[in-house]
């Protein structure tokens, strides 16, 4: 077991509220929380300063591409989990679009074994269809028996409505969640960026907002039909937020996420043809960004999820329309969120709500109380830093935030009781 530790002098902030308290951790568990709890800590404990900081349940990412197996030149489970820890995450859901994809028990077992050695908890999402080809259902029952709680063909949406209906029926029976990458492939075909004034000006092929919204609408109808739990990945348009608003008002089991990049960047970022700004779904209009932020503030959007999508430099550095879509996210997400959201709402969207959606609560995202699993982050709201791609821990460099200066950053991360990040440095 790791050395006991004390987070001294901070303010605890969780779903219960905010209070001044030290936190004592031993054997993977929170042993004491209180204004003077540090006094009674074991003398051999590692003391971490939390003065001026907020001690919170660790962040939980619903959407990270860790690339292993098959894409190790871009990221591995270990390097991705280290990036996550630096960003304040204590759990990530690894997406199944690996090579081979996580569409059978053997690959899921392999990724789970890699995750067991990683510095933070790695939950594994399974594919909905064999090979993510959208034709035959993957053995969802076998995967669920291994502990898989989320299924998605992310990178692509399930195009066949009848197959999606069947998948939702199975998901309901198994008590798992289907997460959809909402994109009508025919409508989006060839699109390198958002279809609008900027795509016309730049002469780049566009994908219309309707390519996303038609599938959001279809899948909400299928959630109504089947009664299954549906999670909508990386929503990017004002119209999608409206559809989810109505689905929630109706009481359907629908949740949704947005990414940090869709909350601060618009399609205007593509003006220099820099492939760093190519992502799927594409960066949208200013109006879309505003409505996504409104959706977060009024609870229509449940979570901020990174869609951390590492691509090795030689793979990403291509002409805009040929480059693969995707951006790094794990090490910058919290800082980006804090640039326009208060700490309470940022933590709700990045810790306890995603922990619930992923089926990881209360061991992740749970209140910081005696007896709780010690998965914590310590955030310094006043720390200022500038993103230097060369200094990111990820194996890849494709951040759209190079040179941006942020105020607010993760300082320490405690995962399963172990200090895996101290003063913004990874410990393993
Ligand atoms: O931009 C993206 N990149 N969106 C996705 O849905 C997939 C991801 C990837 O795997 O690179």
Q: Are 91 and 123 in contact (CB under 8 A)?
A: yes
The helix (H) or strand (E) run that includes residue 293 is helix 286-297
- Assess whether the C-beta atom of 157 lies below 6 angstroms from ligand 1: no
Catalytic residue selected from 169, 307, 317, 388:
307
CA distance 85 to 89: 5
Task: Determine the distance separating the centroid of ligand 1 and the alpha carbon of 283, expressed in angstroms.
Answer: 13
pLDDT band at 1 (very low <50, low <70, confident <90, very high): low
Full-model pTM? 0.98
Nearest CA-CA partner of 320 in 193, 198, 186, 209: 193
Could you report the per-residue pLDDT of 275-295, keeping only the tens digit for each? 999 999 999 999 999 999 999
**CA of 95, closest atom in ligand 1:** 10
Using CA atoms, how far apart are residues 309 and 362, in angstroms rounded to an integer?
27
Q: How many angstroms separate the CA atoms of 376 and 307, rounded?
A: 22
Cα distance between residue 353 and residue 359, in whole Å:
10
Q: What would the pLDDT profile of 110-145 be if each residue is shown by its tens digit?
A: 999 999 999 999 999 999 999 999 999 999 999 999
Q: How confident is the model at residue 2 (pLDDT cuts 50, 70, 90)?
A: confident
pLDDT tens per residue, range 372-404: 999 999 999 999 999 999 999 999 999 999 999
Buried b (16+ CB within 10 A) or exposed e, 302-321: bbbbbbbbbbbeebbeeebb
Task: Report the pLDDT value the prediction gives residue 40, as an integer from 0 to 100.
Answer: 85
Q: Give the chain's domains with CATH numbers.
A: 5-55+369-426 (2.30.40.10), 58-358 (3.20.20.140)
Give the residue from 135, 145, 131 showing the smallest Cα distance to 167: 135
Q: What are phi and psi of 61, to 5 degrees?
A: -100, 120
Instruction: Identify the CA nearest to 334 among candidates 421, 272, 269.
Output: 421
Gyration radius from the chain CA atoms = 21
Mutate to test the pocket of ligand 1, among 154, 192, 310, 396 (most ligand atoms within 8 A of CB): 154
Is residue 257 lining ligand 1, measured as CB closer than 6 Å? no
Q: Measured from the CA of 324, which atom of ligand 1 is nearest?
A: 11
């Amino acid at each position: 077991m790791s050395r006991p530790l004390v987070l001294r002098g901070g303010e605890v902030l969780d779903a219960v509220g905010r209070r001044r308290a030290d936190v004592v951790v031993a054997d993977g568990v929170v042993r004491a929380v209180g204004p003077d709890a540090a006094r009674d800590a074991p003398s051999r404990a590692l003391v971490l300063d939390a003065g001026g900081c907020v001690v919170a349940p660790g962040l939980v990412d619903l959407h990270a591409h860790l690339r292993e197996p098959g894409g190790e030149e871009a990221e591995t489970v270990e390097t991705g989990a280290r990036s996550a820890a630096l960003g304040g995450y204590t759990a990530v859901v690894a997406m199944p679009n690996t090579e081979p994809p996580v569409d059978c028990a053997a690959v899921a077992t392999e990724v789970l074994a890699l995750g067991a050695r990683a510095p933070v908890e790695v939950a594994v999402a399974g594919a909905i269809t064999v090979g993510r080809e959208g034709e035959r259902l993957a053995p969802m029952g076998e995967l669920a028996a291994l502990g898989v709680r989320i299924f998605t063909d992310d990178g692509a949406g399930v195009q066949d409505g009848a197959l999606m209906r069947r998948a939702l029926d199975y998901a309901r029976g198994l008590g798992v969640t289907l997460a959809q990458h909402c994109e009508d492939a025919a409508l989006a075909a060839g699109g390198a960026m958002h279809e609008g004034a900027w795509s016309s000006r730049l002469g780049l092929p566009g994908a219309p907002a309707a390519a996303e919204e038609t599938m959001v609408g279809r899948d909400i109808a299928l959630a109504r039909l089947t009664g299954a739990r549906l999670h909508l990945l990386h929503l990017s348009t004002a119209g999608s937020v409206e559809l989810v608003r109505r689905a929630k008002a109706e009481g359907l089991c629908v949740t949704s996420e947005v990414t940090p990049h869709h909350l601060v960047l618009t399609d205007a970022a593509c003006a220099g043809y820099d492939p760093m700004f190519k992502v799927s779904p594409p960066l949208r209009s200013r109006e879309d960004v505003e409505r996504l932020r409104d959706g977060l503030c009024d609870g229509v959007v449940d979570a901020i999820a990174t869609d951390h999508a590492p691509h090795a430099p030689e793979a990403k550095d291509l002409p805009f329309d040929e480059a693969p879509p995707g951006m790094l996210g794990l090490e910058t997400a919290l800082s980006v969120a804090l640039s326009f959201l208060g700490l309470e709402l940022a933590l709700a969207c990045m810790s306890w709500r995603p922990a619930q959606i992923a089926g990881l609560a209360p061991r992740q995202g749970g209140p910081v109380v005696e007896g709780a699993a010690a998965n914590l982050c310590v955030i310094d709201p006043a720390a200022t830093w500038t993103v230097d791609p060369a200094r990111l821990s990820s194996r890849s460099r494709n951040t759209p935030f190079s040179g941006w200066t942020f105020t607010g950053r993760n300082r320490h991360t405690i995962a399963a009781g172990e200090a895996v990040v101290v003063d913004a440095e990874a410990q393993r």
